[in-house]
Amino acid sequence: MVVGDVTTSTDVLVIGAGPGGYVAAIRAAQLDLDVTLVEKGEYGGACLNRGCIPSKALINGSELASEAGQAEELGIYADPTVALDEMISWKDGIVDQLTSGIEQLCTAAGVNLMQGTAEFADENKIRIVHQGEGQGSESLKFDNCIIATGSRPIEIPEFDFGDERIVSSDGALNFETVPDELVIVGAGYIGMELATVYSRLGSDVSVIEMLEQALPSYQEDVASIVRKRAERLGVDFHFGYTADSWAESDGEAVLTAVPTADAAHDSDIELTADKILVAVGRRPVTDTLSLEDAGVETNAQGVIPTDSRCRTNKEHIFAVGDVAGEPMLAHKGSKEGEVAAEVIAGEPAAVDYQALPAAVFTDPEIGTVGLTENEAANEGITPLTGEFQFQASGRALTANRTEGFVRIVAAKETERVIGAQIVGPEASELIAEIAAMIEMGAKLQDIGSTVHTHPTLSEAIMEAAQNARGKAIHRQN
C-alpha cells in the first residue's frame, strides 16, 4: 500500500551505497553540493557485505588455520580445530564495524541518507519505495543523478539459488559448517578464492570450468602457478565441462557436467556435493530501475555505457561501478564515483584506466596492472620485459613462500613502465608500487635505482626492473 507521495528535491541523487555510490556521495558533499544517497539494503554494498571484505576475512582465517597445521618444516607442530561459526561471527563483526563507519562518514560529510528502493519516474525524478507493507513511497526530484546499483551473481539454468544446496558467493560466505564436499562451478577469481578458503578449511573441493584454464582472464603462466598450488591443497579441477543438471541422491547432491563443444574429452562426469557454489560471473543491476523512463540506455548485457567522465547517454545522469561494466572491482567503482562527483561540481575530472590494478587473493596471490606483453604488442608498442622469481628472494625464503615471480613490462623505445604481473606472496600489496610508478610516468631506471628495504619482497620489483635493462644483481640477465 502506498501511503502519501511527497516530492522533495536534491542537487545530486546517488542510487546505491556501495563503494561506487558512497564515495561519489561523500566527494559531492565535500564539493558543497546538496546530496541525497538512497540505499535499499546495507551501506557498503556488495563489497563490504558480500564481497571483498567478508571473502578476505575468510581467506585470512583459513590461511592461519592451514599454515598452523602445516608448519612442521619450521619445527611447529599444531593441529588446529576450526569452528566455522565463530570465524563467520568474527567476519560479521568486521562487516558491521565497516558498514556503520560508512553511514557515519556519509552523515558527517552532510549527505542526506534515505532507505528505500529507487526507480526512475522520468529523467529528473525518482520514486523511492520504502521497505515493508504500508511503509509507502515518496518522490525525489534531482538535477544530477549517479547510478551505482552494482551487480548480482549470474544464475545458470537448472541451478536455482533458491534451493538450499545451490549457493552464490553470498551463501558461500555464510556456511554454518564446513561442507565435506563442495563443487564450485566457475574458475574465475571468486570461484578460485572460495576454492582456496574451503580446501584450506578441509572441504573436498572440485571445480568445473568450461574453458581449459583456471583464472582464464590471466596469462597462463600466472594462472597455472595458482592452479598447481590449489591442486596441492587438494582441489580437483575439471576443465572443458559445463554444469548441466543436478539431482538429490542418498542425502547428497549429484551434479552432472557435460563436455563443452570443443573439449578434448567426450563423456559426462558426475560429482557429489553437500553444496554447489555457482560462481560464473556477475551481471549489472539495471533491470529494476525503470531506466527507460529516464531515457538511459544499456547494452545487451545490461551494462550502462559511459564516457570518460562517467556520463551516460543523458548529460546529467552518470553511472559508476559495476553497473558501468568491467572490470567489476571496488576501487574502479570508487574512482569513478569521485570522477562523477567532480564532473558534476564542474571540475576537469576524467577516468584513466592505464594504472588500474587488480588483485586475486588466492594462494599465492595475483596482482596485475596496466598492459601485458601481448596487449602492448597489440597496441603497437614494442615491449621490453624483466622478471624476478621469488625463489631467489631472501624474504620469500624466510616466509617459506617462494612460488611465483614479478614481471615488469615497459615500452622498449622509452623504457617507460606500462604494466606488471605479479604472482606470489603479498602480490596484492606489491602491485601498488608499480601502479604508482605507471601513474607517475616512471621509467625502468626509476624503479631500478630506487633503494628498496632489505630484506623485503619489494626488492623483487627492483630486480625485475633491472633485469629488463640487463642489470639485475641477484639473477642472470
Which one-letter amino acid corresponds to residue 305? P
CB atoms within 10 A of CB 234: 15
Nearer to ligand FAD, 42 or 403 (CB): 42
- Among 130, 265, 316, 454, the active-site one is 454
Alpha helices (H) along 16-81: 21-30, 45-50, 52-69
> All 3 cell numbers of residue 28?
559531492
Looking at 61, 186, 321, 404, which residue binds ligand FAD (CB under 6 A)? 321
Q: How far is the CB of 120 from ligand FAD (least distance, A)?
A: 9
Nearer to ligand FAD, 130 or 452 (CB): 130
Nearer to ligand FAD, 29 or 411 (CB): 29
- β-strands 405-411, 383-389 pairing: antiparallel
Which one-letter amino acid corresponds to residue 386? G
Residue 228 to residues 62, 221, 235, 302, 360, Cα–Cα distance (Å):
18, 11, 9, 35, 15
Q: How far is the CB of 138 from ligand FAD (least distance, A)?
A: 13
Contact range with ligand FAD by CB under 6 A, out of 10-18, 66-74, 255-263, 296-304 = 10-18
Quick note: the x/- pattern for ligand FAD over 424-453, rule CB under 6 A, is: ------------------------------
Q: Under a CB-based contact definition with an 8 Å cutoff, are residues 326 and 332 in contact? A: no
- β-strands 112-115, 35-39 pairing: parallel
Nearer to ligand FAD, 60 or 456 (CB): 60
Residue 331 designated active-site: no
Residue 222 burial (10 A CB sphere; 0-12, 13-18, 19+): buried
Q: Is position 55 an interface residue for ligand FAD (rule: CB under 6 A)?
A: yes
Q: How far is the CB of 470 from ligand FAD (least distance, A)?
A: 36
Going by C-alpha positions, the residue among 404, 450, 440, 442 that lies closest to residue 223 is: 404
Which residues have a Cβ under 8 Å from the Cβ of 407 and sit 6 or more positions away?
A: 385, 386, 387, 420, 421, 422, 464
Quick note: the x/- pattern for ligand FAD over 368-407, rule CB under 6 A, is: ----------------------------------------
* HSE-up (13 A, CA, CB side) for residue 390: 25
Q: How far is the CB of 287 from ligand FAD (least distance, A)?
A: 10
Alpha helices (H) along 188-243: 189-200, 220-232
Q: Is position 106 an interface residue for ligand FAD (rule: CB under 6 A)?
A: no
Q: Is position 367 an interface residue for ligand FAD (rule: CB under 6 A)?
A: no
Q: Is position 102 an interface residue for ligand FAD (rule: CB under 6 A)?
A: no
Q: How far is the CB of 37 from ligand FAD (least distance, A)?
A: 9
What is the dihedral sign for C-alpha 79, 85, 90, 91? Answer: positive
Q: How far is the CB of 43 from ligand FAD (least distance, A)?
A: 7
Which residues have a Cβ under 8 Å from the Cβ of 374 and sit 6 or more positions away?
A: none
Looking at 103, 204, 322, 459, which residue binds ligand FAD (CB under 6 A)? 322
Nearer to ligand FAD, 301 or 382 (CB): 301
Nearer to ligand FAD, 16 or 404 (CB): 16
Size of the site for ligand FAD (CB under 6 A): 37
Beta partners for residue 182, in sequence order:
205, 275
> All 3 cell numbers of residue 135?
511503509
Site for ligand FAD in 283-312 (CB under 6 A): 285, 288-289
- Distance between CA atoms of residues 424 and 444, nearest Å: 21
CB atoms within 10 A of CB 423: 28
> All 3 cell numbers of residue 253?
547432491
Q: Is position 190 an interface residue for ligand FAD (rule: CB under 6 A)?
A: yes
Site for ligand FAD in 14-33 (CB under 6 A): 15-21
Looking at 26, 33, 38, 235, which residue binds ligand FAD (CB under 6 A)? 38
Q: How far is the CB of 119 from ligand FAD (least distance, A)?
A: 6
Site for ligand FAD in 130-169 (CB under 6 A): 148-151, 169
Q: Under a CB-based contact definition with an 8 Å cutoff, are residues 7 and 125 in contact? A: yes
What are the residues binding ligand FAD (CB under 6 A)?
A: 15-21, 38-41, 45-47, 50-52, 55, 117-118, 148-151, 169, 190, 285, 288-289, 321-322, 328-331, 333, 361
Q: Known catalytic residues?
A: 454
